[in-house]
């Protein structure tokens, strides 16, 4: 039945024939009067396996339902794609959060959300930011321990300068002036290195003065 309906309703050609030295496509198709009205569509003749011709409404009922024109696949699952743009004064992170909240109230049970393109990058980077910062601080701390041959001086450098510098960097994202992405993460790590470098110079200079006999406050 599917093949017969496809021949009635589609516009694909099944063969060619030559006439007058030219080739013509053979496209079997029902008349427009049968393809535009559901009531007329139900009267299309269908040939059974024994050769009997019966109308379509003897085999199936026609209902009008809303369906996507095409169903794609993502992650080996049938999916439908939602695209959109961000309004001014709204970050992409906020937009994704609003979309997730709307999906929870609209989608039936069993549906899941996945991301592609920039949205996937944002979700992955948001999860990896804390790990990236922790690893960068740990590497800087270990390098300073080797340089100063002390576990206390690196703590003075990191705890005395890095939190203040990071607060100023993250404040821009807090006021929704930008988002946390791969470029801002690289900038934050670079900022930690620059601030730690200045702290190293100050701490090393103070240690030298302490060795010369000055007290810690004066140094």
Query: Which residues span the domain enclosing 133?
Result: 118-211
> How many domains would you assign to the chain?
3
Question: What tens digit of pLDDT does each residue of 109-135 get?
Answer: 888 888 887 777 777 766 666 777 778
**Does 137 share its domain with 81?**
no
pLDDT tens digits for range 82-111: 777 777 767 777 788 888 888 888 888 888
Alpha-carbon distance of 209 to 84, in angstroms, equals: 61
Express each pLDDT in 166-189 by its tens digit.
777 777 766 766 666 677 777 877
- CATH number (domain holding residue 172): 1.20.1640.10
Residue 198 lies in a domain: yes
Same-domain pairing of 122 and 102: no
In a domain, 143, yes or no: yes
pLDDT value at 160 more than 80 = no
Q: What is the mean pLDDT of the chain?
A: 78
Q: What is the CATH number of the domain that holds 29?
A: 3.30.2090.10
The full DSSP string for 141-198 is HHHHHHHHT-SHHHHHHHHHHHHHHHHHHHHHHHTTSS---HHHHHHHHHHHHHHHHH
Same domain, 123 and 202: yes
Same domain, yes or no, for 17 and 45?
yes
């Amino acid at each position: 039945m599917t093949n017969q309906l496809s021949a009635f309703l589609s516009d694909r050609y099944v063969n060619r024939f030559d006439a007058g030295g030219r080739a013509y496509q053979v496209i079997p198709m029902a008349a427009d009067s049968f393809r535009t009205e559901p009531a007329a569509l139900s009267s299309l003749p269908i040939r059974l396996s024994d050769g009997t011709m019966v109308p379509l409404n003897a085999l199936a009922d026609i209902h009008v339902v809303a369906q996507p024109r095409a169903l794609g696949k993502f992650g080996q699952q049938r999916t439908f794609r939602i695209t959109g743009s961000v309004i001014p004064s709204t970050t992409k992170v906020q937009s994704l959060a609003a979309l997730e909240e709307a999906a929870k109230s609209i989608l039936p049970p069993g549906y899941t959300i996945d991301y592609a393109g920039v949205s996937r990058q944002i979700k992955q980077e948001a999860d990896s930011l804390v790990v990236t910062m922790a690893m960068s601080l740990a590497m800087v701390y270990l390098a300073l321990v080797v340089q100063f041959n002390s576990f206390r001086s690196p703590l003075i450098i990191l705890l005395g300068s890095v939190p203040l510098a990071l607060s100023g960097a993250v404040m821009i994202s807090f006021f929704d002036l930008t988002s946390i992405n791969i470029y801002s993460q690289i900038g934050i790590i670079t900022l930690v290195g620059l601030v730690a470098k200045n702290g190293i110079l100050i701490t090393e200079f103070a240690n030298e003065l302490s060795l010369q006999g000055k007290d810690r406050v004066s140094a």
